[in-house]
Amino acid sequence: MSKQNSEKLSHLFNKYSKKEVSLEDAIKNFISPGERVFIGSGCAEPIDLTRKLAELGQELPDVQMIHFLNLSDLDYYKTIGTVKDLFRHNVFFIGENLREAVARGQADYTPMLLSEIPRLFKSGKIHIDTALIQVSPPDKYGFCSYGVNVDIVKPIAEVAEYVVAEINPNMPRTLGDSFIHMDDIDAFITVDHDPIKFSYEPPGKVAEKVGKYVASLIEDESTIQMGIGQIPNAVTSELKDKKDLGIHTEVFSDGIVDLVNKGVVTCKKKTLHKDKIICSFVMGSQKLYDFVDDNPMVEFHPVDYVNDVTIICQNQKQVAINAALSIDITGQVNSDSIGLRFYSGIGGQVDFVRGAGRAEEGKPIMVLPSTVKLEDGKVVSRIVPTLQQGSGVVITRGDVHYVVTEWGIADLHGKSIRERVLQLINIAHPDFREELLEKAKEWNYVYKDQELPKSVEGRISIYPDKYETKLELDNGETVLIRPVKPTDERMLQELHYSLDEEDIYYRFFQQMSDFRHKKIQPMVTIDYTTSMILVAVHSEQSSEEIIAQGGFFKTHQPSVAEIAFLVHKDWRGLGLTTFLLNYLVQIGRELGYKEFGGSILLDNKAMLYIIDKAPYPMTLKNVEQGVMEFKMDITQKTEKAK
């Protein structure tokens, strides 16, 4: 033990020396056969105590070990040789080193919302005989910190018959509701090892793209929760341009430290626990542990507070980012199992999805890659017609809001089954979209003639998100300009139904009384490689409205496309059509077009003015019966561009 650590512990021996025991006595004197033992969680697992408990397993038959999240590499079952039923684990979240034991039936899994676990023990429904924990050395008042894991450890230690602690000077002294007094510790050993370190694999291209989509949903001054997983962790690297973010989360890792150091996370705009990062445990590197050590910016609390829905929802703009294993086309989210095989657990997902869903301007977000490669090398879709037999519905259809893959964002909240199906197919991997659509048709979830955007070769036409941009209008409002999607059908119908008789005549050269599915579907299922329809989307709080559309469409001449525009009457005269025209010219050039053509009624003075002022050489093809036909050369600009 280092000199520095010896000094930290010197007063401990003086005042509480009678409670110090040997490692073997810490187990034998406080645990008997048939008892139930809780083992401290995550990166604060008391490694020495746990290892000794496993080694003495032959002398302690039928001991039940309770875990929340086990991250150590200790092989419990190897230590007891061939006696496979000598003791059992009961886990609330399945860590990697107990996953096989659960699959073999040697360990139990108890599915529970994380926020509700402490009540099981406080109520006496589950009695704990001994709690094995790891804490920091006591301060001058006798208080030890639970360090990097408070979660369910503190509530359980408070009701256990006996508390046996590893006192470790390397354990960070974390602040908040995170202390236990030496008077409440029945026995201790002193150790000098580092807390368990934890790291995620570097994010790949898929995780990076998902992270970018998630970041686009997060506004400045939002409060963030991130669950366990590579993709939620990868989101942090995409938040570097945000301002005054806050943190209220059960767990965080090194990425948050970087955001604090860059001034992105300040917590200054939080509506609850202003200026404070609120968490229950952390998992990461020594950099993270040094950051939380005695840091008044970070408060640790038990999960029955941190994950309480009524607490979470008090954070305005609370964002919850959690990983899923699979999701069906109606929006049921599976996060804890792969078919009949239990893989992880419920954890705090439900708590934060519901808390963020109730928060003012809150956003629950589920993230997942669109595909997964199986052990046999086969690639399958994670967005599926129905969940695999045995898969657990962790987030219900009614709770899910946003789902994000590397192909985009699906907003399911308040949407019908038909709308959900189209949203989710739109973010599924293109190789599986046809199959998903056929199942949806078979079950009457969508129109029997529902189509997807396809190229002339019959392949799925991929949504070109590179053309998404924002435009500030002359009235100060900002709108999103993007390519049309199949999921826009209803909003386009609403735009068309907002037109008066004159508008309809100007656009279609005839009167039309309805804009049913058969008429609108061709406008939203285009081949993006040959045609383009851009829509202008105005968002107000959680509602969206298409206020304009402009597009070009292929003709029988390979280098010529026909253009058309439509703007809601309340949004005219603000520069929308001019912007759409110029943007369509840019896109048209990229797709190989040289000319745009079209027809305009001579009575349509507003459109004639825009075409006349367009900075491209114009040729009048024909003027007769009140209609002007024109062509514009989009390969060059005229002096009007100035």
CA gap 79, 98 in Å, rounded: 14
CA gap 531, 523 in Å, rounded: 10
Beta-bridge partners for 145: 179
CA gap 633, 102 in Å, rounded: 68
Catalytic status, residue 375: no
CA gap 609, 600 in Å, rounded: 11
Q: Is 341 helix (H, G, I), strand (E, B) or coil?
A: strand
CA gap 466, 469 in Å, rounded: 8
Burial class (CB in 10 A: 0-12, 13-18, 19+), 127: exposed
Identify residue 33 by its one-letter amino acid code: P
Residue 464 structure tokens:
């070109």
| Alpha carbon distances (Å) from 364 to 157, 217, 229, 321, 325 | 32, 10, 16, 6, 16
The secondary structure of 102-171 as a DSSP string is: HHHTSEEE----GGGHHHHHHTTSS--SEEEEEEPPP-TTSEEE-TTB-TTHHHHHTT-SEEEEEE-TTS
The secondary structure of 370-422 as a DSSP string is: SEEE-TTS-EEESEESSPPTT--EEE-TTT--EEEETTEEEE-TT--HHHHHH
Catalytic residue among 250, 406, 489, 595: 250
Q: Is 311 left (phi over 0), alpha (psi -120 to 50) or beta?
A: alpha
Task: Report, as residue numbers or ranges, the catalytic residues.
Answer: 250
